[in-house]
Structure 1
Amino acid sequence: MKSADNLTDDLPVGIEWRRSDGLVDYRAAMAEQEARNTAIAEGEAGELVWLLEHPPVYTAGTSADVAELVDPRFDVVTTGRGGRYTYHGPGQRVTYVLLDLARREKDLRNFVHALENWVIATLGDFAVEAFAVPDRIGIWTRDAAGTEAKIGAIGVRVRRWVTMHGFAVNLSPDLTHFGGIVPCGIADYGVTSMAALGKAVAPEEWDRALLARAPEFLRALDIKDRMPA
């Protein structure tokens, strides 16, 4: 079994595969993404996939409605990603994906679909049946009571065809923290986690499984040579 230090050894070169084990301030991470996005677009830096966790924070996407900020008990940060309000905090593993789609295929819909499939396949490796719903943002599963609940969030931004932000998966966060917002503007469904489903998954375990499926995620973005259906 690979140690945490060499989980990225066999991954495609040309992309920086970064893991942060401590909590990374959200504003600092956002500033680093902004700078890296510009550098990638200008050919001054390589692409980046960054796995990390944040201290508790609420983030507002471009469609955020202040009425859905129910109890701003944590810092609230406005971002340039799509979507509405979401929560990040300890026990939730976030993956930021900064890739140059101009080097692949300029297809944002395909990119989001590939992100969804990456998360769903990885959750399946832990025997969690997850799925995407066309009219609802995020990654869904069924909670312990059998009700549909959200286990992952997706929010992206593309600038000069270089992507930013990405997705977050609930491993073992404090689910009461989601009560300060209407997560992604969807009030009719709850939020769940791997822990709430009886799956004790450490960040390193999640990272290992996710990164093992990274090559198939990248292949899904290289659609230029596909024959039409």
Structure 2
Amino acid sequence: MQTSVRGRVDYLPAYEAMQALTAARVEGTPDELWLCEHPPVFTQGLAGKQEHLIEPGDIPVIATNRGGQVTYHGPGQVVAYPLLDLRPRGYFVKEYVYRLEEAVVRTLAEFGVTGHRVKGAPGIYVRLDDPFSHARLPAPLPSQGGGGGEISFDGLGKIAALGVKVSRHCTYHGLALNVAMDLEPFSRINPCGYAGLTTVDLSTIGVSTSWNEAADVLGSKLRALLAI
């Protein structure tokens, strides 16, 4: 897998380049991993609802064809775009998403932070009261109606978001890990469609690291977990 550290690039040209590369893929086209950050931008997934854009202000909003709702990209965030053919790997979307999340969990562990999954809410979360605790999250209480109930983010902050697209078994879009950002723009949206969801970065929870270091660790974990 070829890794390209692209630094800060505008979102729309990166999105268009991913689409073009994926459309042109043939058997044997090399897999790629792009690591970058974007100037401030809100992106809407295919299911995105206008109600989750509360007050975008002067930050542009770009509609995309990835899954999920609205999220924010900005300086100080490592964005990873794996451009892969899943067929030689022998797994499909659900396993792919799990491996993306696992790469973030293992990246956070390198910095002493425990990442958590929340069932039904893709992405990785940390405990706000103790991000370094290894204790498991309590099991969710069953709903009275016997269904899944509402997703609870009590005591949690979201540190990484996922949004993927798979076309002809080939992936693009990816994940974003918050390192040291201006988090204010997240207050202008319902992040990933969840009103009141707290968003954090490594800096907020007491981890001091550079964008380059975080990108290097995340890239290494992704290459290991996504290798054929």
What TM bracket, shorter-length normalisation?
Answer: 0.7 to 0.9
Q: Is the 8 A contact 1:144 1:197 kept in 2?
A: no
Residue 201 of structure 1: CA displacement? 1.4
- Distance in 2, matches of 1:145 and 1:103, equals 40
| Whole-Å separation in 2 of the counterparts to 1:211 and 1:97 | 10
2-structure distance, mates of 1:151, 1:157: 21
CA distance in 1 between counterparts of 2:215 and 2:123 reads 19
Deviation at 1:106, TM superposition (A): 4.2
Inter-partner Cα distance in structure 1 for 2:159 and 2:70: 15
One-letter identity of the residue aligned with 1:60: Q
Gapped regions of structure 1 (runs ≥ 5): 1-14, 223-229
How many residue pairs match? The answer is 204
Quick check: 1:36–1:45 contact (8 Å CA) kept in 2?
no
Give unpaired runs (5+ residues) of structure 2. Answer: 132-154
Does the CA-based 8 Å contact 2:116-2:125 persist in structure 1? yes
Aligned partner (choices 59, 81, 97) of residue 96 of structure 1:
81
Cα displacement (A) at 1:51: 0.4
Which residue among 191, 200, 209 is the counterpart of 2:208?
200
- CA distance, structure 2, for counterparts of residue 198 and residue 49 of structure 1: 28
Distance 1:86 1:200 in 2: 24
- Selected match of 1:28 from 5, 13, 17: 13
Aligned pair partner of 1:140 in 125, 129, 133? 125
Q: Quick check: 1:24–1:53 contact (8 Å CA) kept in 2? A: yes
Tell me the SS of whatever aligns to 1:122.
helix
What pairs with 1:163-202 in structure 2 (closer than 5 Å)?
A: 163-202=171-210
Aligned to 1:121, what secondary structure does the other structure show?
helix
Query: Does the CA-based 8 Å contact 2:69-2:193 persist in structure 1?
Result: yes
Deviation at 1:85, TM superposition (A): 0.2
**Counterpart for residue 154 of structure 1:** 162
Answer yes or no: is the 8 Å Cα contact 1:85–1:184 preserved in 2.
Answer: yes
Q: Distance in 1 between matches of 2:112 and 2:29?
A: 37
Residue of structure 2 in register with 1:216 after alignment: 224
The one-character-per-residue Cα deviations of 1:142-168 (angstroms, maximum 9, x if unpaired) are 225772010000000000000011100
The residue number in structure 1 matching 2:66 is 81
The secondary structure found in structure 1 opposite 2:204 is: helix
Which AA in structure 2 matches 1:127? G
Question: More helix by proportion, 1 or 2?
Answer: 1
Residue 214 of structure 1, CA deviation: 3.3
Is the 1:106–1:161 Cα contact (8 Å) retained in structure 2? no
- Give distance in 2, aligned partners of 1:70 and 1:29: 25
In the alignment, which residue of structure 1 is the partner of 2:141?
none
d(CA) in 1 for partners of 2:27 and 2:56?
39
In structure 2, what is the Cα distance between the partners aligned to 1:130 and 1:198? 14
Alignment of 1:98-113 (within 5 A): 98-113=83-98
User: What residue identity is the alignment partner of 1:18?
Assistant: S
* CA-CA distance at 1:137 after TM superposition: 2.2
CA deviations on 1:116-165 (whole Å, 9 max, x unpaired) are: 00111111110111111112121100225772010000000000000011
Measured in 1, the distance between the counterparts of 2:183 and 2:128 equals 13
Q: Any conservation in 1 of the 2:35–2:219 contact (CA below 8 Å)?
A: no
> What is the RMSD computed on CA atoms of the aligned residues?
1.6
Deviates more, 1:156-165 or 1:180-189: 180-189
C-alpha contact (below 8 Å) 2:67/2:164 kept by paired residues: yes
Deviation at residue 216 of structure 1 after TM alignment: 3.0
- Alpha-carbon distance, 1:215 to partner: 4.2
Q: Which residue of 2 aligns with 1:10?
A: none
